Chain A
Amino acid sequence: MINYIPILNILILILFSFIIIIVKNNKKVKFISLASNIFVFFLSIILARKVLTQNIITLSLGDPNNLLGIEFLISKPEAVIGLIFTFVMVMILWYSNFYLEKEVSENRISFFYLLINILLASLLGVIYTNDLFNSYVFIEISTLSACGIIILKDKKENIKATIKYLIMSTIGSGLVLMAIAYIYSITGHLNISNIHEIIITNYQFHRNAVLIILGLFTVGLGIKSAVFPLHSWLPDAHSSAPTPASAVLSALVIKVYVFMLIKILFRMFSYEIVNSFIIMDIILLLGSMGMIFGSIMAIMQKELKRMVAYSSVAQMGYIVFGIGLGTISGTAIAIYHIIGHAVTKSSLFLISGLLIDKTGSKKIEDLKGIGKEMPFTLGLFTLGAFSMVGIPILPGFISKWYLSLTCIEVGRVPLILIILASSLLNVLYYFPIVINGYFGNDNLEGKIYKAKKIPFINLLPIILLVISMVVIGGMSYNLIGLFNI
């Protein structure tokens, strides 16, 4: 029975999304959506427990030989990522239950929950699946539903951001589909494990084709996961979307595609194959550039949510950097950063939403003195910022530390400078918010202590996210040990 949890998760979410359409009452919609997500979260816990003892679960649908049917393969990274993602999603839904009305009109609220359910289902699908074409379909579903949650806020900039996102990701998925066509024409399989068996012996005969395939996958999935310099859609989309949607997009959606890239590079091909092509160096270069330029652009932003969105570009740089190192440990850190950043960035976005809502301004400069009015909320933001900057024990530090060690391991010491420079740049855009929020006479003048207090129960999802962030930092050693692809 436990073996069927992956497909059960997806089916439950999609099934409930259909129920959500029928139900008219917004309160019931919220309840149904939250309940289904919590249920899926518990199923993911069971699944993760099973996978941790049993190593790997495969589930063949349609065809036991995996020649025609679809296979789900859940090893430890998939199980942990699925678990964290469902957890983050539950927290975001909890938050949006009291927040969403502030940004989205009454009659569209049920659409949000409908789309969120479909989105999570497709994200889990991409994570779990071991079949290329199936992953393509899930990727498309997730893109469309992600576009949907951006456009829920019926403003001009949202439509603009959505069309930009849609066009960019259509290019991306076109490239991915082309790559799938190539790989199918070489190997005659769509199952990643089957392809691996064939390609590992034959790749020497198809070096050009393999290079094209690698390039197509990297660029295609790179566009979707906003790898620098293909990120131009991200700041618009993530900053204009309603805050819970921004959190979902930044914390979960872009991560899934990069995880897919990891699966393709290292599970479908192998370290040996990909390292023999120039593509890994290019990925490493893109990652390094993302880390630096993402941060620099974040420094120049004047709006809070745009800044946090650009910070996502920089953080994707870390993940891509880890992949680009082309070693097992590098990939493990990339996956660790995926989950670490998922909890951190979702909490940062949710807090930004509260700050913007209470001050009534999107601008960073209007947040001066907010620490006096909302001390606890800004405190949570500070903790998230600490993780980004790299204070020991928090996940951001762990990623940087292990990335640096891996750099030394592969003999590329100068790259550490990039990691450290990027973390210094993080200081430059996160700390001014905290400093101007808490300190300075000019900033605090006229502010009343706890004037804009938020009820504790509304802060609870963010608190849980921040706690889980600290826990993920604390458990880093065990977690990274699990992530062997």
Chain B
Amino acid sequence: MDILLTNYFETGAIILFGVGFATLMLHRNLIKKIIGMNIMDTAIFLFFIAKGYIKGKEAPIITDSFKGVSNYINPVPSALMLTGIVVAVTTTAFALALTIKLHKHYNTVDLDIILRMRGDQND
């Protein structure tokens, strides 16, 4: 229990990951699935960035003068997660666009119903 509390970033991240994963797997509504996907991604970002965070250190942005390496947090995870966010946003946008298309064709965003319908019947 202590471990969970001291590493509350990681604990939170894993819980969030679980929530996102469950949403993605269990919900039938496509929009909710996409939200779940985003929660999952955010959880990973949090986890990653928490790995680079050093308590009491500044963000690695040089404002006035360089204060020495030891005064900043690890910038690598933050930089990586910036890329990660870009990837997540692209995927979300694409998935949303697909959802719109699906809604046009099937008049529903319920994936179960969509998967049950044979796509080529009405073509």
Contact = CB atoms under 8 A, between A and B. Distances in A.
Q: Are A and B direct contacts in the complex by CB distance below 8 Å?
A: yes
Interface of A: 68, 133, 136-137, 140, 143-144, 147, 151, 155-160, 162-164, 166-167, 170-171, 173-174, 177-178, 181, 184-185, 190, 240
A160 B114 contact: yes
B73 interface: no
A184 B51 contact: yes
B67 interface: no
A167 B44 contact: no
A369 B17 CA distance: 54
Contacts of B17: 174, 178
Contact of A167 (B51, B83, B95, B119): B95
A156 B105 contact: yes
B33 A167 contact: yes
B120 A157 contact: yes
B122 to A, nearest CB: 7
A133 B84 CA distance: 9
Contact of A166 (B48, B51, B83, B98): B98
Interface of B: 17, 20-21, 24-25, 30, 33, 37, 40-41, 44, 47-48, 51, 76-77, 80, 83-84, 87, 90-91, 94-95, 98-99, 101-102, 105-106, 111, 114-115, 118-120, 122-123
Nearest to A68: B76
Nearest to A137: B83
B51 A159 contact: no
B119 A155 contact: yes
Given A137-B87, A163-B98, A178 B115 contact: no
20 contacts: A133-B80, A151-B98, A155-B119, A156-B106, A156-B119, A159-B102, A159-B105, A160-B102, A160-B115, A163-B111, A166-B98, A167-B33, A170-B37, A173-B87, A174-B20, A174-B21, A177-B41, A178-B47, A181-B47, A184-B48
B98 A185 contact: no
A259 to B, nearest CB: 21
B95 to A, nearest CB: 6
B44 A177 contact: yes
B116 to A, nearest CB: 10
Nearest to B102: A159
A170 B98 contact: no
Given A156-B106, A159-B98, 15 more contacts: A137-B83, A140-B90, A143-B91, A144-B91, A156-B122, A157-B120, A158-B119, A163-B30, A163-B98, A163-B111, A171-B25, A177-B44, A177-B48, A178-B47, A181-B51
A140 B24 contact: no
B99 to A, nearest CB: 7
Contacts of B25: 171
Contacts of A174: 17, 20-21, 37, 40-41, 44
Given A166-B94, A171-B21, A156 B120 contact: yes
A192 B82 CA distance: 21
A159 B90 CA distance: 17
A157 B123 CA distance: 10
A140 B87 contact: yes
A140 B106 CA distance: 28
Contacts of B33: 167
Contacts of B77: 184
A164 B115 contact: yes
A162 B21 CA distance: 20
A151 B95 CA distance: 12
A167 B112 CA distance: 13
Given A174-B21, A184-B77, A155 B123 contact: yes
A170 B51 CA distance: 23
Contacts of A151: 98
A133 to B, nearest CB: 5
B95 A163 contact: yes
Top 4 A-B pairs ranked by shortest CB distance? A157-B119, A156-B119, A140-B87, A185-B51
B77 to A, nearest CB: 7
A62 to B, nearest CB: 11
B47 A170 contact: no
A178 B106 CA distance: 34
Given A133-B83, A167-B33, A184-B51, A147 B94 contact: yes
